[in-house]
Every structure is written in C-alpha cells, then in structure tokens.
Amino acid sequence: MTVGVVAFATAAALNTVPATAGKPYDPTTQSLAKLGLRHGLQIGTAVDMAALNDASEPQYRKIVATEFSSVTAENVMKWESLEPTRGNYNWGPADQLVDFAKRNRQSVRGHVLVWQNQLPTWLTSGVADGSISRQELRELLRKHITTVVSRYQGKISQWDVINEAVSDPWDNPPTLHYKGFWAQHLGPDYIADAFRWARAADPKALLFYNDYNIEAFGSGDPADDKTQFVYDMAKRLLAQRVPIDGIGSQGHLGTQYGNYDTLQVAAALKKFGALGLVTAFTEVDVRSQLTEAVQAGDEAEINPRLQASAANFSVLLKACLAVRSCLSYTVWGFSDKYSWVPSWFNDPPEGLATIYDENFQPKRAYYEIKSDLIFAGPPYVLPRIAPKPRR
Ligand code: XIL
C-alpha cells in the first residue's frame, strides 16, 4: 500500500505541467527528449558520424542535439572501426560522439562489444588461417572488452555487451541455437565471460543483451520462439550470477508483416522485468516495401505505409511507457536520408523506415510518438525505476 502511494506521489510530481509566465503550456512545441523526461524515459537515436560532421548538413546535427536525450554510435564503436589494424586503436570518431553527447547533456548507449558482424579482417582472417588459436581469440576478446569499456567508463550508461547471438527460425538448422563467429570459435560460454569482463571494467554501466525479433513471445517453445530462447538464456545467466542488467529489443519492424499490439509487447517487457532486468528499445525503425507505385509517388500506396509505420513506432513506445523497467527508446537513425534500410533491404527495395523524411520534415510517425509522450501519465504510466547495476 505505502509503496503504491509513494510511487504515485513521485509520478504526480514528474508529471506536473510546467508553470509558464502567462503563456499556456503547449506540449506540441516540446522536443521528444523533453517530453520523454516527464516519464524519466530517454529518447535516443543512432548517429551517423559522417552526417554529424557534414558542414553542409546543419539540420542533421541540430535535430540530434535537440530532439534526443540519448545517442548511439551507428558504426564507430564497432570492432572494425575501433581497431582496424591489430593493436592500433582509432578512437577519434567514438570520442567525438561521447564529447558531443556531453556538450548536449545526453547519455550514450555503447554499441557494440561482441557481435559476429563488422569485425576487423585481421581478426577473422587470423582465425580462418589458424594463426589465431582458440585460446588467443578468447584473450583478444577479453582485451577488447576491457580496453573499450575502461576508456569510456562513467561516460556510457548502457552497453550492448552481446548482440544478435541467437539464430532465427529460417536459419539452418531451424531449431534456435547460438549462432555466429563467437559461438563457433569459443562455444556459448563466451556470453557469460563477456558480461563479467565488461562489469570488471565499469561497475556502473548497465550491461545489455541486444537482439531483433524479440518484441513479443510466440509459441513459448525455445526451439522456435526467439523471445523465449533469450528469456531462458537470461534466466540461466542470472542463476549463474552473471552480471547482465538488461535486454535490448532492437525493434526493426516492417509494415508488410503482422507485427504486434501494444499489450503483447508490454507483456514481453514485463516478463523480462520480472526477472529483475531492465529493458530498452534500442534500434527502432519500421520499413516498408517501395513498390513501383510508391516510387512513382502514388499516394494510395504511400499513405497506408506511412500510417502503418507510425502505428508500429507507437506500439513499441506505448509498451515501453507502460512498463517502468523500460528505460529508453532509441530509433535507428531519424531521417530517411541516412537510414541503413535502403542499402540493406533491396530485394525487394525497402525504405520509408524513419520518423523524418529525406528533407528532415517530421513524418506522421514523429507526431504519433510525440502524442504518445504527451498523453501518457499515471495511473498506468509511471516514472522509470531506478536501475541497480548487478555486481
Ligand atoms: C547497421 C548500420 O546501420 C549500417 O550502417 C552498417 O552498414 C551495418 O550495421 N543490428 C545492429 C546494428 O545491431 O549494428 C546494425 O547497424 C543494424 C542491425
């Protein structure tokens, strides 16, 4: 009873309408960052460092600085960027993003420590030709995690320690399993090791497992339900006292799929929360197929896509708002001009995946998530929990 009352009091304080001198408060003119703050929720974006540094693109920089309270490096904290040749670190672009965030009072999500993609060639070819042994590979991973996490200790609020370690039902074999370079060469124990090494280098950053297609539970069978597989994995890691703090749900959706409703997504976040984990949406975008009619500008095909995209952005945000352990909502790029989608999904061509168009004009999705932030409040939407990093 008392706990409920205290929580409600905090919520009421956080949700007070700000006093203004004379002028009525107009939430629609506020940034996503500011509106998210009412709930203690961070609204983030992935940042393309080339676009951020492009002097001919002032709007890009301005929107990153003003609309968001959190930033993630889209590429420059990946191993191939940080250590392109063995032993020579290229910290410049990553440092620059961390400095930018500090100047703009933003938090930083660290992305990513351990992943099978965007690894440096010296590492993958060394393993392939046998010049890097299993034992050396494990030591290289330990050193990588320790070096990177130590450098940004205290400057990064959430680290994606492990990314995309679980297979998909369309892989071979179809039974879900640990996939990719690290599982193949080190066995699945690399996951527990990585969390422990990261924790040793930063006692306070929240340590995440991050993956796609885990927005909602399916059959409940870990053989074909990826969310269940990840849930069971997290439970096992916790039982082994591995310092995992959170589950990052990437949130890469497409309007051509069935997708989920808000309650299904909220139920999944709650279930992870019940394990004592925090959660976050870490890479939200909602792509659409660019049919010939779409490319020719046919409104009858474009409008339903923009509307479905907006609805899906909104489903993930409302679910996050509804669950107090969901600490942040990050979009994977904010403008169609710089989205990774058209270059990655081209057969058939896809796009229209972000909340601003190619001319940096806010789309329906932008206004829809803004209205979610405006209309949410107690008793069902309460401030975020205070996370405690696991020792
Ligand atoms: C993508 C970037 O957006 C692209 O620029 C890059 O070429 C490939 O990687 N899941 C992840 C992200 O965890 O790191 C990926 O980012 C998108 C899918």
The 3-state DSSP class for residue 385 equals coil
Class of domain 32-375: alpha beta
pLDDT in tens, 232-273: 999 999 999 999 999 999 999 999 999 999 999 999 999 999
Report the run of H or E that residue 343 belongs to, with start and end. helix 341-344
Report strand pairing: 278-289 vs 350-351.
Answer: antiparallel
pTM over 0.75: yes
List, in sequence order, every beta strand (DSSP E) within the chain: 42-47, 70-73, 107-114, 158-163, 206-211, 246-249, 252-254, 278-289, 326-331, 350-351
Q: Does residue 175 have a pLDDT over 50?
A: yes
- Residue closest via CA to ligand 1's atom 12 equals 74
Show the tokens assigned to 390: 């696991």
Q: Does residue 288 have a pLDDT over 90?
A: yes
> What DSSP string runs through 128-159?
HTTSS-HHHHHHHHHHHHHHHHHHTTTT-SEE
The rounded mean pLDDT for the chain is 95
Q: Does residue 15 have a pLDDT over 90?
A: no
Q: Does residue 14 have a pLDDT over 80?
A: no
Nearest to 369 by CA among 14, 18, 44: 44
pLDDT in tens, 41-81: 999 999 999 999 999 999 999 999 999 999 999 999 999 99
Query: For the chain, how far is it from start to end, CA to CA, in angstroms?
Result: 30
From the candidates 164, 215, 350, 368, give the one annotated as an active-site residue: 164
Structure confidence at residue 17 (pLDDT): 67
pLDDT band per the 50, 70, 90 thresholds, residue 22: confident
Q: Does residue 318 have a pLDDT over 90?
A: yes
Q: Are 200 and 146 in contact (CB under 8 A)?
A: yes
301 catalytic? Reply is no
pLDDT band per the 50, 70, 90 thresholds, residue 145: very high
Cβ of 74 below 6 Å from ligand 1: yes
Under 8 Å CB-to-CB from 11, ≥6 apart: which residues? 377, 378, 379, 382, 383
Domain ranges of the chain: 32-375
What percent of the chain is predicted at pLDDT more than 70? 95
Q: Looking at ligand 1, which atom is closest to the CA of residue 332?
A: 3
Q: Does residue 23 have a pLDDT over 90?
A: no
Cβ of 340 below 6 Å from ligand 1: yes
Nearest to 385 by CA among 277, 290, 282: 277
Pocket residue to mutate for ligand 1, from 74, 114, 285, most atoms within 8 A of Cβ: 74
Cβ of 209 below 6 Å from ligand 1: no
Distance CA 91, CA 309 (A): 36
pLDDT band per the 50, 70, 90 thresholds, residue 32: very high
Distance CA 31, CA 366 (A): 10
- Angstrom distances, CA of residue 2 to CA of 8, 9, 322: 10, 11, 21
